[in-house]
Amino acid sequence: MAIIFDADRKIFTIHTKHTTYQMMADAKGYLLHLYYGPRTKGNMDYLLCYADHGFSGSPYAAGMDRTYSLDALPQEYPSLGTGDYRNYALDIVNANGTECCDPIFDRYKITKGKYSLQGLPAVWAADDEAETLEIVLKDEVTQVEVHLLYGVLEEADIITRSVIIQNAGTETITVKKALSACLDFVHGDYDAISFYGRHAMERNPERVPVGHGTYRIGSRRGSSSHQYNPGVILAERTATEDAGNCYGMLFMYSGNFVCEAERDQFNQTRFQMGLSDELFAYPVKAGAEFTAPEVIMTYSDQGFSKLSRQYHNCILNHVCKGKYVHINRPILINSWEAAYFDFNGDTIVDLAKQAAELGIDMVVMDDGWFGKRNDDNSSLGDWFVNEEKLGGTLGQLIDRVNAQGVKFGIWIEPEMVSENSNLYRAHPDWALTIPGRAPIRSRNQLLLDFSRKEVREEILKRICAILDQGNIEYIKWDMNRSMSDVYAGNVAYDYVLGLYDFLGKLTSRYSDILIEGCSGGGGRFDAGMMYYTPQIWCSDNTDAINRTRIQYGTSFFYPTAVVGSHVSAVPNHQTGRITSLNTRGVVAMAGTFGYEMNPALLSSEEKEEIRTQLATYRRHQELIREGNYYRLSDPFQEEVAAWMSVAKDQSQALVSVVRLSAEGNPFGTYVKLKGLDAESFYLEESTGNRYCGMALMQAGILLPMATTEYEAYQFTLKKVQDA
């Protein structure tokens, strides 16, 4: 069993394949955290330190014992109002206006299989792959019950955390803060590693020491945001890519979040994550409940690389759903950078002809096909085909594209409304606004209030009417602004639940359509969206050199299979940089692969190179999607960006390298590989050279001498019997 309860000492032990997690309901009823780390035996309650610390209050249940204080003891789910002055996970306002909840251990339940969450995405697993521990804490004054949920995927080394707050009392309460996971460490020096950014430059890693006080990041934008990704690593100061202890928390939610890391007066560290407590106050009536979204936790004693692979495995096998997760996906070309808004039906058909000639699988018609949408100032919400622009019905256009031997995909942005639209003129109250105030515009559009059932049901009806018009096999779902004008404390949370409700109905009705998420690129790149959309456009920045950094940061939590990455035209439309078609192709192959360009502008030599790229990607796509991913360099610090995918059985590997700088009279550049069978030999196919796996990992492979700026290389390795 993965979950064990010692009834005599009230100690809960969770074992995964390589880790142990332990907590104890003590004699006073408080749930104390004991241990999370490498798998171990025995009870860890000897780690608890009791002393009279002064100015650290004791709960009344402690009597005259000054050595017992929740301000100094490691807790499993700290609550405001219990004498703990550190950051808390729970804050409840009671009907009489007091802010206090004193949750005491009441009962527990261990069940086979993984729990699910009403209205929220959650890690899923077969019953024989997981167990669930539910611990119920109860506040005797208000009868509020706090249900702590632990999902244990033993073989995957994953523990998930969620919380359900049940109001078993007689009056309404208000939840002001309800985080999903908390880890308390009684000693240690830690760094927090987060992933900050902006539109078109997402997920840059930043490592800072956790000092005395609070390190806090999050989003108050209504989405998980370009600015901070909801994945954070707490690492020992000495932890590196391949060595040392590190702990990950990944929030499976697409809205506002917070992550806090605090070192207290006794050099203990508290690390917690969940819903942001800003712009949040959620009323819970008597008999009702509130559910906090899930945090996915894992631990590695072999540095960030192992931690990342555990997350990759979890997302690919226990988060993403549907037919496309483990199959080869269509290689597409998107009309956006080829034509922007300036297109008609013939433009799309011509793009399909060019795609067929090159061997590309699909054409995607991006923004501009509906309403009077010839720029980004109108028509969002008017999901009616502009047949005049397309030269016929949508079904006719799809048939014309399919006749070229090419699949058809389409762009939508269902959550938005333009003020210059029929929808807004008919239902201005459907936009998210603060009553009596003019709204905040962004990209000259407003956000529809998806917390309201009637709003999302009408939009769903309109979108389904579009999707029923022909053989649409792909949707790009976009969201091009942040939330503002939050008029009540429940709105931001209920909006995301409304989004999930919409996506759940859409994916259920159209299970054969591949949906790619997008929010100005990577503004909602999170595990919550990945539950519904098995790939997400990684960034609106398609510059190959910038993408090496964006995709590097992305890889710490997310597998290549979910990363939307395309080859675009040069000079690049975001940076103006010129890189070779080969370099752009090598970078884009660290993802789902596709194109953003007008093939009619390419030379015959470039077209032939694209055909070669397509053949290369198709040959390796299963390895890229399913293999173990390794970061071989840090493109923020080193002269090359390098990464590799290794088959699970170590039989083959694909190594990719991009030079980030060029110098006169250069010296040799070596890249050390990872994940190979140290005792075996590997054939590098382009040169015919044979290398020992250990040699490649310890000494590295020598790159060709550079002749131009931003050169890229790929090395294909196959295990062979001998040297």
Catalytic residue set: 526, 606
Contact indicator for 698, 668 with CB cutoff of 8 Å = no
Q: What does residue 158 show for φ and ψ, rounded to 5 degrees?
A: -115, 135
* End-to-end CA separation in angstroms for the chain: 45
CA distance 702 to 502: 51
Tokens of 92: 């409840």
Q: Are the CB atoms for 696 and 678 separated by under 8 Å?
A: no
What is the H or E stretch that residue 394 is in?
helix 394-402
Residue 631: both structure tokens together: 């970061």
E-only strand ranges, 582-722: 594-596, 628-631, 640-646, 652-659, 670-671, 681-684, 690-692, 701-702, 712-720
Distance between alpha carbon 235 and the CA centroid of its chain, in Å?
19
C-alpha to C-alpha distance for 652 and 673, rounded to whole angstroms = 13
In 54-213, which residue ranges form alpha helices assigned H by DSSP? none
Q: How many C-beta atoms lie closer than 10 Å to residue 190's C-beta?
A: 23
* CB distance 561 to 628 below 8 Å: no
* Nearest Cα to Cα of residue 406 among 325, 339, 348, 338: 348
Closest to 238 (Cα-Cα) out of 194, 308, 189, 305: 189
Could you give the count of Cα atoms lying within 13 Å of 554 in the half-sphere of its Cβ? 32
Q: Which residue has the tokens 């998930």?
A: 160
Please state, in angstroms and rounded to a whole number, the distance separating the CA atoms of residues 602 and 640.
28
Tell me how far the alpha carbon of residue 298 is from its chain's centroid: 15
Which residue has 């590309």 as its token pair?
Answer: 360
The DSSP bridge partners found for residue 224 are none
Cα 694 from Cα 683, distance rounded (Å): 13
**Three-state secondary structure string covering 500-554:** HHHHHHHHHHCCCCEEEECECCECCCCHHHHCCCCEEECCCCCCHHHHHHHHHHH
Question: Taking a C-beta distance cutoff of 8 angstroms, is the pair 118, 291 a contact?
Answer: yes
Cβ distance 14 to 150 under 8 Å? yes
Side-chain-side CA neighbours of 526 within 13 Å: the count stands at 33
Strands 158-167 and 173-185: unpaired
Query: Which residues fall within 8 angstroms of residue 45, CB to CB, at 6 or more apart?
Result: 9, 11, 24, 32, 34
